[in-house]
Structure 1
Amino acid sequence: MSHSKPKVTPFLMFQGQAEEAINLYTSTFDQSEILSMMRYGPGQPGTEGSVMMASFSLHGQVFMANDSNIQHNFTFTPSISMYVTCDTEEEIDRVFATLSEGGGILMPLQAYPFSEKFAWISDRFGVSWQLSLAKR
């Protein structure tokens, strides 16, 4: 499968949890895969074995991620979220259950005027996801 390099790629910066998050996301969404993962080695500026740079795809959308080797006083905010259109109720229910586990629910999974089934959640890493059932 050939991947062309997109001009705009979402980039997620973690502090030691990048690999765990990438594994969760690629196992949650169909047609998803880890494309590359480089780790910090001995003597490099990051924690040995943590993710220096990774790329992965979810349904063909390429993401990049890393573990920051600098501690910082900020993390993810719901002001930026991943918007996912789910094709079936089974898919939205499964993705909601998986990603909300250990996270938070910003808008519960239910019908809204703009979607027959929608939820806005924050996963256990603090990444925000809006899940919407495709219109039939």
Structure 2
Amino acid sequence: MSQKITTFLMFEGRAEEAMTFYRSLFADAEVRSLTKYGPEGPGAEGSVTHAVFTLAGQEFMCIDSAVQHGFGFTPAVSLYVDCADEAEIDRLYAALSDGGGVLMALGNHGFSTKFGWVNDRFGVSWQLNLA
């Protein structure tokens, strides 16, 4: 088997909510596997032990950490999306920035005719580019 690299997202209780939200935004999206903590823990009952999902054919993994951490997501690592048209970039920018924060407003920044950078409501950073 050849080596494979997959983006792994660690949440603290909102993994399934994030996965559902992301799947609503991208075509060719599905949950491939999902397991949850039961009453025996160690995480909160019903939170995600481990999940694998795809967005636009790209595979991701996520969990709800059973341990509280002193860190979260940072814009130093972001998900980069080349959008096919203006309607797509506008839709994704609006949805992903809703409840999150804007790092770079959607516009012409010289290196791209239309680009925006946001943190979503879960803290995950997204760079959106009009291809």
TM exceeding 0.5: yes
The aligned counterpart of 1:20 is 17
Distance 2:27 2:113 in 1: 22
2:93 is equivalent to residue 83 of structure 1: no
Q: Per-residue CA shift, 1:31-76, capped at 9, x if unaligned?
A: 1111111000121311110000001101111000000000111000
Identity percentage over the alignment? 57
Residue among 57, 62, 65 paired with 2:59? 62
2:19 is equivalent to residue 32 of structure 1: no
Range with bigger deviation, 28-37 or 53-62: 28-37
Residue-pair matches, total: 130
Q: Kindly report the root-mean-square deviation, in angstroms, between the aligned alpha carbons of the 2 structures.
A: 1.1
Report the alpha carbon displacement of residue 6 of structure 1 after superposing the two structures with TM: 6.9
Distance 2:27 2:86 in 1: 14
Residue among 111, 116, 131 paired with 2:113? 116
Residue among 130, 133, 136 paired with 2:127? 130
1:28 is matched by which residue type in structure 2? L
Q: Which runs of 5+ in 1 are unaligned?
A: none
The aligned counterpart of 2:89 is 92
The aligned counterpart of 1:74 is 71
Q: Per-residue CA shift, 1:65-114, capped at 9, x if unaligned?
A: 00000011100000000000000110000011111000000000001111
TM-score, with normalisation over the residues of structure 2? 0.96
User: SS of 1:131's equivalent?
Assistant: strand
1:32 is matched by which residue type in structure 2? A
2:11 is matched by which residue type in structure 1? F
Report the alpha carbon displacement of residue 30 of structure 1 after superposing the two structures with TM: 1.3
Distance 1:112 1:130 in 2: 13
2:49 is equivalent to residue 52 of structure 1: yes
TM-score, with normalisation over the residues of structure 1? 0.93
1:7 is matched by which residue type in structure 2? K
Q: Which runs of 5+ in 2 are unaligned?
A: none
